[in-house]
A and B are shown apart, each in its own frame.
Chain A
Amino acid sequence: MAKVPVQFTLNGSEKAEFIDSGTTLLHALRDKIGDTSPKGGCHQGTCGACSVIIDGELRLSCLTLAETCNGAVITTTSGLSEGGVLHPLQHAFLDTFATQCGFCTPGMIMAAKVLLDHKPNPSRDEVVEALSGNICRCTGYEPIIQAVLHAARANSQNAA
């Protein structure tokens, strides 16, 4: 089968790959480009572990065909830190002990980032709603909810 060219911006860098038509973005990111921060949990859109941000919107990379991402701007969790300095959300996840096995963490952080980008001071209910598409086995969710609320507070203190 003929390969299909695909080109997009990933965490600020231009990426170009030849892929098989029908390749998911998750597969292209992990196995072609080598960004393993999106995780393959269920591969059918029910766990949220593969969440990435495409043109500012939260998307499930396991249900997104890579060839539909031509020209898109894609952010993954591995692109959040700058020069070794962690993103406030990553710090908040550490500070509230919101990660155990870590498999859900990148997807959770993506979901939280889209929420805070649109709504810097969300209510608890809004945080719960934003995380409701992501499954976690270890934490019982409360530490993750607290992490997002912490990060929101840290943002507003920096802005003030």
Chain B
Amino acid sequence: MAIRLGRGVAAINYPTGMNLGGDPTQALVHSTPTGNFMVTLSSVDLGQGMKQIMAQICAETIGVPTDRVVVDTADTDTGPHCMGTFASRGTHRAGNAVIQAAKEARQVMLEVAAEELEVNASDLETDGQGNILVKGAPQKSISIFDVALSAHFKRGRSISGRGMFLIPRSYPEKETGAMKPSTCYAHACTVAEVEVDDETGEVTVLTVKNIFEIGRALNPKMVEQQLVGGSWMGISHALYETTEPYYPNRDHGGTDFNQYLMPGPGDLAETEIIVLERPSADGPYGAKGPGEMCANPQIPAVANAVFDAVGVRIDTLPITPERILRALKAQAAN
């Protein structure tokens, strides 16, 4: 009877979105009379930072500072259509829709500015600070504030745009089953080191080293926080969490947070996060969806580490002491 060390590795591809019906998301962008921009969506920010990212995407596309953009995630009764925030699709789908809407709004904004400055709209550029300049003659300029006032009160224009993301529905080929169920893929690899007590079956995760390839990180600190939290959640899925430990028998399922186990602040493995950025061709400014996949590779990595430590394959989650001891017993019997 001993504490045995093990190390496991796992690598994953993770699809962004789910193309079973076009996967649509729509967005509307309009300016207020003072040249702030409103993004209206039905997509939900549930803590992953959707509002911040959509504000950044809209600001970058129109050419204004991010704090000039307000994002209203409204609700599904009143907002533009969104399939939902799932399948790591939020940034990619809503982001593409916001870019399209913001481009249309930017075009109207430049047309109004062109009328005010008596130049061609195609000769104008934005400075990212809230001004529109004539290319090559930046002394000739107008603030977006003044452009919005002109549009609203003088020229009767709506500085607004409509955007949507929609891809053709992909049906499987009859012969091969091949299909294209998603767009770009994110990737991850995890190496986990564990200690397994072969007397009690208890697993302690010592280190988790993760590398994630997520397209371009539109907000690197927010990406990092999601990956750190996701890595913890992956360990939690691997070793602790289940509502029905003896599925389909409901007996012994957790009924509250005392019984539904998750690692607490005292149970944290040493965690490392490395981000690789390979911008995707179809993503908004190169982004992919890192959301769900950040909690995926830890699970097979821990299962492999347990195998490395004590030589048993646990193929049912979570990898509980009971399952390890039963497997060890079966192994000894053989």
Contacts and interface: CB of A to CB of B under 8 A. Distances in A.
Nearest to A48: B257
Contacts, number: 59
B265 A128 contact: yes
B46 A101 contact: yes
Nearest to B227: A140
Contacts of A100: 47-49, 225-226, 229
Task: Give the secondary structure class of B's interface.
Answer: helix
Interface in A31-65: 42, 44, 46-47
B48 to A, nearest CB: 7
B257 A46 contact: yes
Nearest to B226: A100
A145 interface: yes
Contacts of A139: 225, 228-229, 232
Interface in A102-152: 102, 127-129, 131-132, 135, 137-145
A137 to B, nearest CB: 8
Contacts of B231: 140
B258 interface: yes
A97 interface: yes
Interface residues of A, number: 23
Interface of A: 42, 44, 46-47, 97, 100-102, 127-129, 131-132, 135, 137-145
19 contacts: A46-B256, A46-B258, A47-B257, A97-B221, A97-B224, A100-B48, A100-B49, A128-B265, A129-B266, A132-B264, A137-B233, A138-B229, A140-B228, A140-B229, A141-B232, A141-B264, A142-B232, A142-B268, A143-B229
Interface of B: 46-49, 221-222, 224-226, 228-233, 256-258, 262, 264-266, 268, 271
